[in-house]
């Protein structure tokens, strides 16, 4: 289990992460979503032990990572920027990792490399970007980690390899009761893979909940009236994204959905439509009040 | 438990990782060493090689040694770059720092991995060279191993220092450019700091016993600069005289350099680790974000600027402007510091603004340093022990009669109108300063209580003088080293380069001590095998070289090889003592008008003994303050040797009839000749001014009917005009009074010669142009006659004594001194 407690990280006078906490349980895939610069990579690097938090703690299976750095031998970090030696092959990298990760399994390595169709004797620098990602994934899984950190790791993978990787991760997670923390911009990718999603909204986590809970927790109402109405009639509803086009009104609601529907019904609309929000819509909704307010930007 | 057990395995893995790039350099080094071994043993004459022990002699060939040192330094830097490249690469940092190793393990594994391959390569090379010597039946003994160990350790230490310093810096910076530049800046710190301390001590305190570029204070233990031990080591002699001379083997100064280098390396590694441990890993691959290192290097750069510019200004102002120097130091520091921050800052504007806020702290630091040194290290530099505490005191002074610099000759900076050299100082990065000062003055050790009291009084006089204004009318050069050996065993040494007139007069009185006269007499008599040296000189062939047969017969056993013979025959005479000069050089007799001379030739032992006895018996007053009436003439040595003429050193001596040869002179009927110009104290000429007090010398000259050659040829009727000026007036901004020894030596130039100099635009113009700005020309014959009667050609030149330039009707010019008491 990965447990991040009240972690803060600043770069000079810029606070990248502010008092952030999260937990990734065993046998769980935790998706981390956020706009560019939201702090996803910083968070992953802290968990990987590359960055040291200014305060707070990071634990793997209850062991503080910075007090016991050897615990990182049970964790594998696949960064966004991959690094391989100039003349390294997968085989030589496997040897390299084998000396640093006690659980490294050569058998698994060979099997996985075969599964991806990668030549382990070929120089990795000669691989395509996608193949390099596959290679890193193979090497990472071969260390048989209890926790995996993946930073935009599906970038550059073709759909087939992407599905293969997803499947592998799901199988591995289920088999080894592993904790997987994965950051991505691709919400669809995370939606069908993660059991838990966190939205990073600059410095902190705006939403942190199970994917199942998220589905249906928010919805969008579309209402049609016979005449123009005053927005104040929705007093009592916590709504967002209010839009009106004459007699047609739409907005999203994230709390007390049934109560909201009762209030709406009392306003006598001609039509009431209630749609569940997709993950992407939830993401955009959360982002709306922050930095990316395009309407304000171009008004 | 499994994880813990794996830590050692991880360390080993990281160590092996670091060894890979370091091995490339190590293999290259080994190949170079093997090449040298095979070159040496495959090329050299076996017999030659068997005469003396050899161990990588080729590394000590001109240029090779420097190249080898540079190569090892470069290898150290390069390997550090390769071993710690993760520190300036974000991608690599992600991998290395997430490996589950402690930072300490990563750091030390990399350090060891960088050192071990080179250590193995150097050791292996040494072993192979040794095996080659053993298998070839060459000399392998204790000395061989001492030299072998030192040679190999030297290179290993140079590499290690370079590697660990670069590693420590690289591990604490964000990119390779910063790493290299910061390494360079920090690498210069020890030698600059040493130079700073020496020069600051020298410039600010009075009596500093460490002096730039001097041998005044040479510590036995090399604390400061490990590289210095290697730089100072005379490798060329080490192999050549390996079997004969113990002194060329590595000594304490050399081994201490190695030991200190090892200690420094450990300290650097630990400091580097402490920094690396605290280092924020997010600076990997960034510019200007290694705040700690950035601040250190910025401050060091500021220090360099303040030191170099400040000291330069201070030396220009002759130490008079302490406050101005401090302000300039601060400004220099600030400018360099701010510029550095602008170049290497992450947020430049902010960094520059922060620089101004931090500057007062540095300025206060500088002020503290200035204060400490300005106060003479809180009185330490002006401490004078009491006579009762002192067991013995040795005083090294240029004012000892007839001994080296005190002898009437070779005092480069004595007041002589023929040559005055400036010895302004300017700091150099290697911790030295250029200085033309003469430091190797004769040293006499006094144990008599009265002499000790006198020395203490002289020292107190120096202390009372304090910092002397260089251009003060009553200041003059001193170059005096006083070393006390206290009864408790401690030593105190003080060194003074300038003195007031009062102190100088006290210094002259040391010539009256029994101890000095005893040493002088021993020096003149026991210390010289007169006939031995005379024979050497007489046996020279007409080219000035020793006759080979004579040489071989007499000295062949001592100096077996041709190279040594060449050195011996060409340069040996110059390494002789002053008194050997009297045996080796033909003697010329000059009257006090210095216009004509008589060649006496090589002197007899009898005359030599007479001179020695007289010099011993002369009191300081008789020697330095004799009157014109007492002055009889000059016995000059060194004029006739054409070999040394060709050296063209300062104080050029030009013979009669334009460079006539010795042979021609010798052929002249009465041995007399007319010279065009000469002065009695040229670099390669020794002269003795004969006074009435020199009874034995006069007796010899009278006995051999030689006194007639002292008869003056020129009189008042031949004089066109004279000019008078004090030493201070003659300096007139060209030289500071404190740069000149106040001992006067006369000179004479013919009009013909002076015309020639003007025609050739020769530097020698200066000989007579010194009086150009003096306009008190006297033409009255009565006055001139009186002045001529008071002029001496040698003696102590007080601040209000007058130098007199005599211009003769034929254009000849002479300079004499009119002492203060008689004008």
User: Would the pLDDT of B611 be above 50?
Assistant: yes
The token pair at B337 is 């510091």
What's the whole-model pTM score?
0.73
Q: Which residues of A touch B19 (CB under 8 A)?
A: none
The answer to whether residue B109 scores a pLDDT higher than 50 is: yes
Sequence length of chain A is: 299
B575 and B603 share a domain? yes
Please report whether residue B606 resides in a domain: yes
Give residue B318's region: left, alpha or beta (phi > 0; psi -120 to 50).
left
Q: Which stretch of A275-284, B478-487, B615-624 has the lowest confidence by average pLDDT?
A: A275-284
pLDDT of res. B683? 41
pLDDT in tens, A134-158: 999 999 999 999 999 999 888 888 8
- Reported as a pLDDT band with limits 50, 70 and 90, residue B320 is low
Q: What is the DSSP letter of B735?
A: B
Q: What is the ipTM of this complex?
A: 0.83
Residue B359 within any structural domain of the chain: no
Q: Which of A55-59, B246-250, B290-294 has the lowest mean pLDDT?
A: B246-250
Contact A100 B100 (CB under 8 A): yes
Q: Which two structure tokens, joined as six digits, stand for B141?
A: 């003994």
Mean pLDDT of B572-594: 63
Domain membership of residue B483 as a residue range: 380-509
**B746 and B796 within one domain:** yes
> What does pLDDT average to over chain B?
75
Query: For the residues B570-585, what does the mean pLDDT come to?
Result: 50
Sign of CA dihedral B67, B69, B70, B71: positive
Pairing label, strands B414-416, B741-745: parallel
How many other CB atoms are there within 10 angstroms of residue B48's CB atom? Answer: 10
Residue B621 to residues B263, B627, B656: CA-CA distances in angstroms? 56, 10, 35
State how far the Cα of A172 lies from the Cα of A193, in Å rounded to an integer: 13
Q: Which pLDDT score, from 0 to 100, does residue B675 have?
A: 37
B94–A99 CB contact, under 8 Å:
no
Question: What is the tally of structural domains in chain B?
Answer: 4
Q: What is the pLDDT of residue B267?
A: 94
Rounded Cα distance, B746 and B83, in Å: 69
Check residue B237 and give its pLDDT.
Answer: 41
Quote the pLDDT of residue A257.
86
User: B783 and B680 share a domain?
Assistant: no
Cα separations in angstroms, B212 against B73, B81, B194? 27, 36, 10
DSSP B635: E
CA distance A76 to chain B (A): 8
**E strands of B369-525, at which residues?**
390-396, 414-416, 443-446, 475-486, 491-500
Lowest mean pLDDT among A251-260, B374-383, B476-485: B374-383
| Interchain contact B10–A (C-beta under 8 A) | yes
Chain A within 8 Å of B83 (Cβ-Cβ)? Answer: no
Within-domain flag for B113: yes
Between A79 and B48, the more confident residue is A79
- A49 and B98 in contact by Cβ < 8 A? yes
The pLDDT of residue B145: 85
Say whether pLDDT at B319 is over 90.
Answer: no
Whether pLDDT at A218 is above 80: yes
pLDDT at B210: 63
CA distance A51 to B281: 6
Same domain, B645 and B747: no
User: What confidence tier does B795 reach under pLDDT thresholds 50, 70, 90?
Assistant: confident
Both B44 and B122 in a single domain? yes
B334 CB-side CA count, 13 A: 16
pLDDT value of residue A289? 59
- Beta carbons of B91 and A83 less than 8 Å apart: yes
Structure confidence at residue B541 (pLDDT): 46
Within a domain: B301: no
What pLDDT was estimated at residue B547? Answer: 46
Higher-confidence residue of B142 and A63: namely A63
Q: Which residue has the higher pLDDT, B536 or B411?
A: B536
In order of A197, B300, B317, the CA distances from B340 in angstroms are: 47, 10, 28
Residue B778 resides in a domain: yes
- The sign of the CA dihedral B503, B508, B509, B510 is positive
User: Does residue B294 fall inside a structural domain?
Assistant: no
- B661 plus B791 within the same structural domain: no
Q: Same domain for B119 and B255?
A: yes
Residue B266 confidence (pLDDT):
94
Rounded CA gap, B235 and A43, in Å?
59
* Whether pLDDT at B446 is above 60: yes
Picking from B10, B102, B347, the nearest residue to A100 by CB comes out as B10
Question: With contacts defined as CB-CB under 8 Å, which chain A residues touch B16?
Answer: 99
* Range in B311-320, B376-385, B605-614, B671-680 with the lowest mean pLDDT: B671-680
State the Cα–Cα distance between residues B131 and B144, nearest whole angstrom.
12
What pLDDT was estimated at residue B735?
63
pLDDT for the residue A249: 92
Question: Residue A233, class by beta-carbon neighbours within 10 Å (0-12 exposed, 13-18 middle, 19+ buried)?
Answer: middle
3-state secondary structure of B641: coil
Confidence of residue B303 (pLDDT cuts 50, 70, 90): very high
What b/e string do you get for B436-475 counting C-beta neighbours within 10 Å, with b at 16 or more? ebbbebbebebeeeebbbbbbebbebbbebebbbbbbebb
The DSSP element (H or E) to which B710 belongs, if any, is none
A11 to chain B: which residues are within 8 Å by CB? 282
Q: Report the residue from A12, A50, A99 with minimal CB separation from B98.
A: A50
Q: Is residue B307 part of a domain?
A: no
What are the b/e assignments for A113-151, b being 16+ CB within 10 Å? beebebebeeebeebeebbbbbbbbbbbbbbbbbbbbbb
A245 at the B interface (CB within 8 A)? no
Q: Which residue has the higher pLDDT, A25 or A187?
A: A25
Largest distance between two CA atoms of chain B: 112
- Residues in chain A with CB shorter than 8 Å from the CB of B99 are 72-73, 100
Q: Enter the tokens of residue A276.
A: 């569940």
- Check CB contact under 8 Å for A75 and B17: no
Q: Which residue has the higher pLDDT, B756 or A275?
A: A275
Among residues B612, B580, B595, the alpha carbon closest in space to that of B686 is found at B580
Share of chain B above pLDDT 70, in %: 70
Q: Identify whether residues B93 and B160 lie together within a single domain.
A: yes
Phi, psi (degrees; rounded to nearest 5) at A149: -115, 120
List the domain boundaries for chain A.
2-210, 214-298
Q: Cβ A11–B282 below 8 Å, yes or no?
A: yes
Sign of CA dihedral A57, A61, A62, A63: negative
The residue ranges of DSSP E strands in B487-551, in sequence order, are 491-500
CA pseudo-torsion sign A251, A252, A258, A263: negative
* Count of other CB atoms within 10 angstroms of residue B136: 15
Same-domain check for residues B552 and B676:
yes
CA–CA distance, B200 with B319 (Å, rounded to integer): 11
Inter-residue contact B194 to B225 (CB < 8 Å): yes
**Average pLDDT of the segment spanning A150-173:** 89
Identify whether residues B612 and B544 lie together within a single domain. Answer: yes
Name the pLDDT band for B214 (thresholds 50, 70, 90).
low
Question: Which tens digits make up the pLDDT trace of B700-733?
Answer: 999 999 998 898 888 899 999 999 988 778 766 6
- Is the same domain home to B734 and B783? yes
CA distance B278 to chain A (A): 10
Instruction: Decide if B439 contacts B703 (C-beta within 8 A).
Output: no
The average pLDDT across B92-110 equals 92
pLDDT of B614 > 70? The answer is yes
From B241's Cα to the closest Cα of chain A, the distance in A is 52
Q: How many CB pairs under 8 A join A and B?
A: 78
Note whether B89 contacts A: Cβ–Cβ < 8 A: yes
CA angle A183, A189, A193 (to 5 degrees): 85
SS (H, E, C) chain A: CEEEEEEEEEECCEEEEEEEEEEECCCEEEEEEECCCCCHHHHHHHHHCCCCCCEEEEEECCEECCCCHHHHHHEEEECCCCCCCCCCEHHHHHHHHHHHCCCCCHHHHHHHHHHHCCCCCCEHHHCCHHHHHHHHHHHHHHCCCCEEEEECCCCCCCHHHHHHHHHHHHHHHHHHCCEEEEECCCHHHHHCCCCEEEEECCECEEEEEEHHHHCCCCEEEEEECCCCCCHHHHCCCCEEEEEEECCEEEEEECCCHHHHHHHHHHCCCCEEEEEECCHHHHHHHHHHCCCCCHHHHHC
Whether the CB of A74 is below 8 Å from some CB of chain B: the reply is yes
Q: How far apart are CA B566 and CA B550, in angstroms?
A: 14
Instruction: Say yes or no for a CB contact (<8 Å) between B6 and A70.
Output: yes
Mean pLDDT of B639-653: 32
Which whole number is the average pLDDT over A153-166?
Answer: 88
CA angle A240, A243, A245 (to 5 degrees): 165
Alpha carbon distances (Å) from B733 to B314, B470, B745: 17, 11, 21
CA–CA distance, B797 with B800 (Å, rounded to integer) = 8
Q: Which positions 98-137 of B are in contact with A (Cβ < 8 Å)?
A: 98-103
Contact B9 A99 (CB under 8 A): yes
CA B17 to CA B733: how far, in whole Å? 66
CA atoms within 13 A on the CB side of B713: 12
| Contact: A50, B17; criterion CB under 8 Å | no
Give the pLDDT mean for B216-223.
65
**DSSP code at position B603:** P
Percent of chain B with pLDDT over 90: 27
Average pLDDT (A121-133) is 92
Check A77 against B94: CB less than 8 A apart: yes
Q: State which CATH number among 3.10.450, 1.10.600, 3.30.70, 3.40.720 fits the domain covering A214-298.
A: 3.30.70
Residue B573: the pLDDT is: 37
**pLDDT the model gives residue A41:** 92
- Counting beta carbons within 10 angstroms of the beta carbon of residue B368, is it exposed (0 to 12), middle (13 to 18) or buried (19 or more)? exposed
Structure tokens at B294: 């950035």
Assign a CATH topology to domain A2-210.
Rossmann fold (3.40.50)
Residue B613 lies in a domain: yes
- Is residue B115 scored above 70 in pLDDT? yes
What is the model's pLDDT at position B105?
93
A67 interface with B at CB cutoff 8 Å:
no
Can you give the length of chain B in residues? 823
Range in A198-207, B297-306, B455-464 the model is least confident about: A198-207
Question: Please, which pLDDT band fits residue A298 given cuts at 50, 70 and 90?
Answer: very low
d(CA B49, CA B592): 59
In a shared domain, residues B705 and B806: no
Please give the pLDDT value at position A4. 93
């Amino acid at each position: 289990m990965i447990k991040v407690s009240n972690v803060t990280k600043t770069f000079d006078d810029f606070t990248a992460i502010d008092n952030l906490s999260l937990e990734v349980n065993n046998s769980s895939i935790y998706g981390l979503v956020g706009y560019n610069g939201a702090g996803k990579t910083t968070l992953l690097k802290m968990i990987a032990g590359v960055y040291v938090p200014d305060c707070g703690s990071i634990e793997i299976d209850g062991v503080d990572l910075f007090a016991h750095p050897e615990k990182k031998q049970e964790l594998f970090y696949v960064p966004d920027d991959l690094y391989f030696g100039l003349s390294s092959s997968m085989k030589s990298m496997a040897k390299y990792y084998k000396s640093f990760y006690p659980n490294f399994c050569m058998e698994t390595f060979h099997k996985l490399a075969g599964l991806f169709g990668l030549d382990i004797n070929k120089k990795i620098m000669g691989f395509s970007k996608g193949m390099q990602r596959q290679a890193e994934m193979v090497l990472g899984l071969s260390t048989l980690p209890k926790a995996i950190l993946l930073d935009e790791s599906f970038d550059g993978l073709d759909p087939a390899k992407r599905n293969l990787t997803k499947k592998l991760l799901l199988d591995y997670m289920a088999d080894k009761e592993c904790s997987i923390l994965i950051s991505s911009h691709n919400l669809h990718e995370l939606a069908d893979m993660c059991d838990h999603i966190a939205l990073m909204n600059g410095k902190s986590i705006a939403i942190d909940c199970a994917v199942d809970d998220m589905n249906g927790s928010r919805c969008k109402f579309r209402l049609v009236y016979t005449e123009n109405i005053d927005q104040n009639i929705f007093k009592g509803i916590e709504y967002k994204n209010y839009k009106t086009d004459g007699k047609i009104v739409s907005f999203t609601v994230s709390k007390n959905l049934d109560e909201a529907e009762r209030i709406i019904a009392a306003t006598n609309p001609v039509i009431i439509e209630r749609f569940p929000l997709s993950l992407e819509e939830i993401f955009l909704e959360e982002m709306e009040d922050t930095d990316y307010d395009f309407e304000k930007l171009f008004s | 438990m499994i994880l813990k057990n794996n830590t050692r395995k991880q360390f080993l893995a990281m160590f092996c990782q670091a060894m890979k790039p370091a091995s490339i350099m190590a293999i290259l080094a080994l190949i170079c060493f093997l090449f040298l071994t095979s070159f040496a043993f495959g090329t050299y004459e076996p017999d030659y090689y068997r005469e003396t022990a050899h161990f990588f002699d080729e590394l000590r060939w001109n240029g090779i040694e420097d190249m080898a040192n540079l190569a090892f330094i470069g290898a150290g830097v390069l390997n550090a770059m390769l071993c710690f490249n993760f520190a300036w690469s974000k991608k690599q940092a992600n991998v290395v720092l997430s490996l589950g190793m402690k930072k300490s393990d990563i750091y030390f594994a990399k350090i060891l991995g960088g050192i071990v391959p080179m250590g193995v390569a150097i050791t292996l090379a040494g072993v192979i060279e040794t095996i080659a010597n053993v298998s070839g039946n060459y000399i392998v003994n204790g000395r061989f191993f001492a030299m072998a160990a030192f040679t190999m350790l030297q290179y290993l230490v140079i590499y290690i220092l370079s590697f660990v310093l670069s590693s420590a810096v690289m591990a604490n910076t964000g990119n390779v450019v910063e790493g290299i530049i910061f390494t360079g800046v920090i690498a210069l710190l020890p030698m600059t700091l040493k130079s700073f301390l020496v020069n600051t001590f020298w410039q600010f305190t009075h009596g500093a016993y460490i002096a730039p570029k001097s041998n005044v204070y040479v510590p036995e233990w090399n604390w400061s600069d490990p590289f210095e031990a290697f730089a100072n080591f005379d490798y060329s002699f080490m192999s050549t005289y390996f079997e004969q001379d113990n002194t060329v083997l590595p000594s304490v100064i050399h081994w201490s350099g190695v030991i200190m280098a090892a200690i420094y390396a450990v300290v650097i590694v630990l400091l580097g680790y402490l920094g690396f441990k605290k280092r924020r890993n997010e600076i990997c691959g960034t510019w200007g974000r290694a705040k700690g290192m950035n601040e250190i290097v910025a401050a060091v750069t500021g220090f360099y600027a303040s030191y170099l510019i400040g000291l330069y200004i201070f030396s220009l102002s002759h130490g008079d402007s302490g406050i101005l120097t401090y302000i300039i130091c601060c400004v220099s520091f600030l400018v360099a510091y701010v510029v550095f921050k602008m170049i290497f800052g992450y947020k430049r504007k902010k960094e520059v603004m922060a620089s101004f806020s931090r500057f007062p702290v540095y300025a206060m630091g500088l002020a503290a340093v200035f204060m400490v040194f300005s106060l003479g290290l809180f009185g330490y530099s002006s401490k004078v022990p009491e006579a009762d505490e002192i067991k013995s005191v040795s005083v090294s002074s240029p004012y000892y009669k007839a001994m080296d610099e005190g002898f009437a000759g070779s005092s480069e900076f004595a007041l002589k109108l023929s040559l005055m050299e400036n010895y302004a100082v300017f700091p150099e990065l290697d911790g030295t300063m250029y200085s033309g000062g003469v430091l190797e003055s004769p040293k006499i050790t006094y144990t008599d209580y009265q002499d000790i009291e006198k020395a203490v009084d002289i020292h107190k006089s120096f202390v009372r003088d304090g910092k002397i204004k260089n251009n003060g009318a009553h200041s003059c050069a001193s170059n005096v080293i006083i070393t006390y050996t206290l009864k408790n065993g401690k030593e105190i040494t003080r060194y003074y380069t300038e003195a007031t007139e009062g102190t100088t007069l006290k210094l002259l009185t040391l010539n009256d001590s029994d101890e000095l006269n005893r040493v002088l007499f021993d020096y003149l008599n026991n210390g010289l095998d007169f006939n031995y040296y005379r024979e050497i000189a007489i046996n020279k062939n007409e080219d000035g070289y020793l006759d080979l047969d004579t040489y071989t017969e007499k000295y062949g056993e001592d100096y077996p090889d041709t190279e040594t013979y060449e050195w011996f025959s060409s340069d040996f005479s110059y390494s002789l003592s002053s008194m050997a000069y009297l045996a080796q050089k033909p003697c010329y007799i000059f009257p006090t008008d210095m216009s004509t001379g008589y060649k006496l030739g090589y002197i007899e032992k009898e005359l030599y003994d007479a001179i020695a006895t007289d010099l011993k018996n002369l009191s300081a007053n008789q020697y330095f303050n004799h009157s014109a009436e007492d002055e009889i003439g000059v016995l000059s040595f060194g004029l006739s040797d054409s070999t040394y003429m060709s050296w063209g050193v300062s104080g050029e001596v030009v013979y009669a009839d334009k460079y006539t040869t010795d042979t021609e002179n010798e052929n002249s009927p009465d041995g007399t000749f007319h010279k065009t110009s000469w002065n009695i104290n040229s670099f390669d000429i020794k002269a003795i001014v004969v006074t009435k007090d020199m009874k034995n010398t006069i007796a010899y000259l009278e006995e051999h009917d030689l006194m007639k050659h002292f008869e003056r040829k020129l009189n008042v009727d031949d004089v066109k005009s004279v000019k008078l000026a004090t030493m201070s007036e003659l300096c007139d901004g060209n030289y500071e009074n404190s740069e000149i020894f106040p001992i006067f030596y006369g000179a004479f130039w013919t009009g013909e010669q002076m015309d020639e100099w003007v025609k050739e635009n020769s530097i020698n113009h200066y000989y007579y142009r010194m009086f150009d700005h003096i306009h008190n020309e006297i033409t009255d014959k009565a006055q001139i006659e009186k002045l001529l009667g008071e002029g001496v050609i040698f003696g102590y030149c007080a601040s209000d004594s007058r130098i007199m330039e005599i211009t003769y009707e034929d254009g000849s010019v002479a300079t004499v001194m009119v002492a203060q008491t008689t004008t």
